Amino acid sequence: LRINLNNNSVMELKETLLKIKKELRKYIIVSIRVVYNTETYSNKNKNTIDELKEFYDTAASLGYKLSNNRYYNRSCEACCDEKVFYITPDLGIWKCINTMSLENGKIGYINENGDMIIDAKRMLEWYSAADCFDEETCVKCKRLPDCFGGCILHKSVYGKRACTPFDMTSLSYFYD
C-alpha cells in the first residue's frame, strides 16, 4: 500500500489505516512517500521527509508491515522498480506512471481476452537502465546504498543518472 503525503497529518493517516480490518494488516506492506514539486506538478506541500518517522511509527503501531526493501524503495517517487507495474484505464501496462507521454515506459497492454502482452525488448531496456552497478560513478558514490542509481526513467530517457540530494529510503530500512 503506497501512501503519498501531500499536506497530510498523522491523524489523517491513522484514520485511513484504521479503516482496514486489524486481522488483514499483517499482510499489508506500507510504503510512505512525500509528494514533492516537479515541473508538471506544483503544489505547496508542507510534509517533509523529516516527518516520515512519525508516519512510519504510526503505521507500525497499527500492525502494518513497513516496506524495507532498499532496492524497491530507491529514490524514485513512482516506485517503478521490481514487482511494480501500473495499469491505465486503456489497459496499457507501464513501468512508470511518469512516462505517460514517453512510449519507452509502456511495456505492454492487456488484450480483449484479458491476456498480458508484454514487449520483452522494452522490459529488458527498462531493467538495463535500472542496473547501476555497471557505472563506476555509482559504485564509488556514498549514496549508492540508499538510491541504487536513482530514477530509472531518467536513465532510460537521457542515458545518464540523475543524482538526487534527498534520502527517500533509509528510514524504512530500520523497521522489521
pLDDT in tens, 1-15: 878 788 899 999 999
Query: How far apart are alpha carbons 107 and 121 in whole angstroms?
Result: 8
Query: How far apart are alpha carbons 41 and 53 in whole angstroms?
Result: 25
Q: In the chain, how long is the greatest CA-to-CA distance?
A: 48
Mean pLDDT of 80-109: 77
Radius of gyration of the chain measured on its C-alpha atoms: 17
pLDDT at 151: 78
* pLDDT tens sequence across 143-156: 777 777 877 877 87
- Phi then psi for residue 142, to 5 deg, are -70, -15
**pLDDT score of 20 more than 90:** yes
Mean pLDDT of 109-113: 91
DSSP structure class, residue 150: S
- Phi then psi for residue 34, to 5 deg, are -90, 130
pLDDT band at 61 (very low <50, low <70, confident <90, very high): very high
For residue 94, the SS3 value is strand
Rounded to two decimals, the pTM is 0.58
**pLDDT score of 39 more than 60:** no
Contacts of residue 99, defined as CB under 8 A and 6 or more positions apart, other chains included, come to 105, 106, 153
**pLDDT score of 114 more than 80:** yes
DSSP structure class, residue 105: G
